[in-house]
Amino acid sequence: MAVHYGRDEVAAKETVEAITGAGGRAFAVRAELGVPGDVDTLFAALEPEIDGLDILVNNAGVNASASIEELTPELYDRVYAVNVKAPLFIIQRALPLMRDGGRIVNITSGVTRIALPGTIAYTGTKGAIEVMGRTLAKQLGPRGITVNSVAPGFVDTDINADWLRGDPEAQAYAAGFAALGRVGTPEDVADVVAFVTSADARWVTGTTLDATGGSAL
């Protein structure tokens, strides 16, 4: 298993150790996304280590907290480069390596269903990913490759750390969105991803699985 990271080498090594400690094989691959040559850098490190691909999960992303009045062209370009352009061209590069019957999962967001004006650019990137997934599902169906999206809600991850962690009021606000009454954990979302990459989800493709804990119902 390849564990990609952009900057946090420590976290990548911890993930590799968790996988190998459970009896799996894993290695870390560093490539900053959203910069020129990002896909080439990623696959230059990946390809010598593998003989094919069965599962691709596009999980990397950056936030863009800005309303329409605050949004700048520079911020727009940055968030689209990481959240849309990089996954698209990673998939393009991965397809010749992917075995028939493979799985592609794109991490989107509940913001495609829940209107949050303060994240208009971020919302747009996640909408683009969902439409891209449906289109690719149609194209790759004859190969038995499924393409799905998983849409988390508020989750306690690094992308939300600057406003969520350590702030009881922010945590209460985020938990208040979910019907299940709490902030999501990485494990909540990872289990949904694990399902959609499994044989049990062989007849599921071109769709978005809501993993928001019932947010904004």
Gap between the Cα atoms of 148 and 104, Å rounded: 6
CA–CA separation, 202 vs 184, rounded Å?
A: 26
Which of 152, 143, 45 has the alpha carbon at shortest distance from 99?
Answer: 143
Q: Are 212 and 175 in contact (CB under 8 A)?
A: no
SS3 content of the chain, % helix, strand, coil (to 5): 50, 20, 30
DSSP 119: B
Residues 102, 205: contact at Cβ < 8 Å?
no
Radius of gyration of the chain (CA): 17
Pairing of strands 53-58, 2-5: unpaired
Catalytic residue at 5?
Answer: no
Question: In Å, what is the CA distance from 53 to each residue of 17, 104, 193?
Answer: 21, 10, 16
Which DSSP category does 178 fall into?
A: B
Residue 146: both structure tokens together: 């499924």
Single out the catalytic residue among 5, 76, 80, 122: 122
Active site residues: 122
